[in-house]
Chains A and B, each alone.
Chain A
């Protein structure tokens, strides 16, 4: 019986004719299949774009290939998790046939593991396999943030417009920090050795901390 249930995303505020009417008597939720598919597809495309961006040029090393494989698996699994988020668990899984139990185990695996975090770490790991390319890394940071935001919007059904407007100032400040980080990385070393490089990293971290303290909440 539960296999027949096909719940979908919906937005009660869009289904109700007016705000007051929706408050007094909630309208039946309307299926927002198109918006749900759009946000999920956006998350998948952003993840794929991040992988493609950081994987080129393809490196021959074993670590790079491992990181690339892990990233591809994680982004794919994350997209599958979003795609199958609306499939409910059956009431009694004990008496189900083997193939259905295997499918349910697969769903549980998709929902248990932190695929997006794994993908982000793997992509960063793949990025550091390449020689230093500051602006490329900064763009990757923006892409990863967009990927995580799209994933959150897809899984929570939140309206993307108000959410991005609310966080607009901070995201703009974050973009400046990305640029600053890239700029710090491009400053030529004043002296040979490890010290000057670490100094640049610390300077970037200090700018981030200062921005967090200065920006109003």
Chain B
């Protein structure tokens, strides 16, 4: 949280009405004055009447000052300079998309509504304007407003938002840094702006809701990739087993008309007495489908099976897209499945993560899901499933996919056990549950589906290591 989140972009500017009311300080002074006057009359003590003097004077001055200002200003513009009826608030965010734990900041600036309306109506920057660092901005009227009214900001962070700085700030502009601890669409919360009059006996409050940010799961680290033994006929970066126009040497064969002269292997031709040419391996890409099981979310929030699954899938999406593979995603959940067909390039990373964010473990009765959609699963694709393997229907879907010949790897993200208790029934239930889980994993391994446990702490390369060193067989 110590890193500077950088400059912010304005996301909203609005003019809001200020409602003024007596401050707590005014109520206290009034109580003191009333009690002193009452006791003075009751006890016939003139000194107590003197005690009521200063607070009554302050209250009277505040009221007379506000009334006089309102009367004087009302003739001109209908607005009281002592207590502005409207202020202009600008909200800027350093990022609308953040990863888990990534620091970001929201900037809020207040300006006198009168100054903006009458003095500089066209000076407001466009909605997409970026506030440059260290330059004088258009918030100069705000400085006057702060000097007159002592603006104070108070942040009420939303759920899942951890403030990284003070939540109460004085001044015309404030920056609140924050970090979202868990993925999802996060409301930043609300900010309350409090203005005071000259005597600090009346306060105007404005509460407005801050925009939301999309918090993406922090991608797991994966540097290596699993490559299928049989790759589709599409140009890519993986070495295929068939000859082609790649750069990796594959072998030598006899020259046939049509071969390029630069491919002639002169030493081999000299030895054999006939022209020989070098052959190279073709370079292909593959389709990778990331399957995230969102049917059950067990474990501590932030380290649950779904958290691990989403982080693993995000890391895998990055790794395979970096390897120029086409990557698609399916989130398997009780209400059906959200999916994104495999595509290539950098941009799909965010699309994929957006689909991942739709993962919801909410229960939807009657959802029957026997097969995954064909459009989401191109033939010959590699499927990497992230699942705690707790839902029987999902396990059945995996078996079904394997029987259809899909190359499948399951990353087991179950990292929680049932609570350990001393009762015999609980111990027995725990043992039965564990045996059942072992049986599920054993049955998948028997089908030729690797089940690789991953704790979410180490890199994904570690469990995938046996399969990244050699090509993975698709069909049996």
For A158, the closest partner residue in chain B by CB is B150
Q: Contacting A23 at CB < 8 Å: which of B36, B173, B177?
A: B173
Q: Please indicate the chain A residues that have their CB under 8 angstroms from the CB of B344 in the complex.
A: none
Given A21-B134, A145-B32, do A182 and B53 touch, yes or no (CB 8 Å)? no
For B62, the closest partner residue in chain A by CB is A217
* A207-B194 Cα distance, complex, nearest whole Å: 35
Tell me, yes or no, whether A10 is within 8 Å of chain B by CB.
yes
A201 contacts B51, CB within 8 Å?
Answer: no
15 further A-B pairs in the complex, CB-CB below 8 A; given A116-B28, A173-B54, A215-B61:
A11-B171, A12-B172, A13-B171, A22-B171, A24-B133, A29-B175, A91-B159, A124-B51, A152-B28, A174-B53, A177-B54, A179-B50, A185-B46, A194-B44, A198-B41
A141 contacts B31, CB within 8 Å?
Answer: no
Q: Please indicate the chain A residues that have their CB under 8 angstroms from the CB of B49 in the complex.
A: 181, 184, 201, 204-205, 208
Stretch of B140-148, B288-296, B393-401 contacting A (4+ beta carbons < 8 Å) = B140-148
* A148-B105 Cα distance, complex, nearest whole Å: 36
For B44, the closest partner residue in chain A by CB is A197
Q: Contacting B25 at CB < 8 Å: which of A8, A125, A148?
A: A148
Q: Contacting B68 at CB < 8 Å: which of A4, A151, A217?
A: A217
Q: Contacting B50 at CB < 8 Å: which of A137, A152, A157, A197?
A: A137
Tell me, yes or no, whether B324 is within 8 Å of chain A by CB.
no
A140 contacts B54, CB within 8 Å?
Answer: no
B39 contacts A7, CB within 8 Å?
Answer: no
For B159, the closest partner residue in chain A by CB is A91
Most buried by A among B32, B35, B152: B32
Given A10-B169, A24-B132, do A156 and B152 touch, yes or no (CB 8 Å)? yes
Tell me, yes or no, whether B45 is within 8 Å of chain A by CB.
yes
What are 7 contact pairs spanning A and B, CB under 8 A?
A22-B171, A24-B132, A25-B8, A117-B27, A134-B46, A157-B168, A211-B57
Which residues of A are interface residues toward B (Cβ below 8 A)? 1, 4-5, 7-13, 16, 19-31, 86, 88, 91, 114, 116-117, 120-121, 124-125, 127-128, 132-135, 137-138, 140-142, 144-145, 148-149, 151-152, 155-159, 163, 166-167, 170-171, 173-175, 177-182, 184-185, 194, 197-198, 200-201, 203-205, 207-208, 211-212, 215, 217
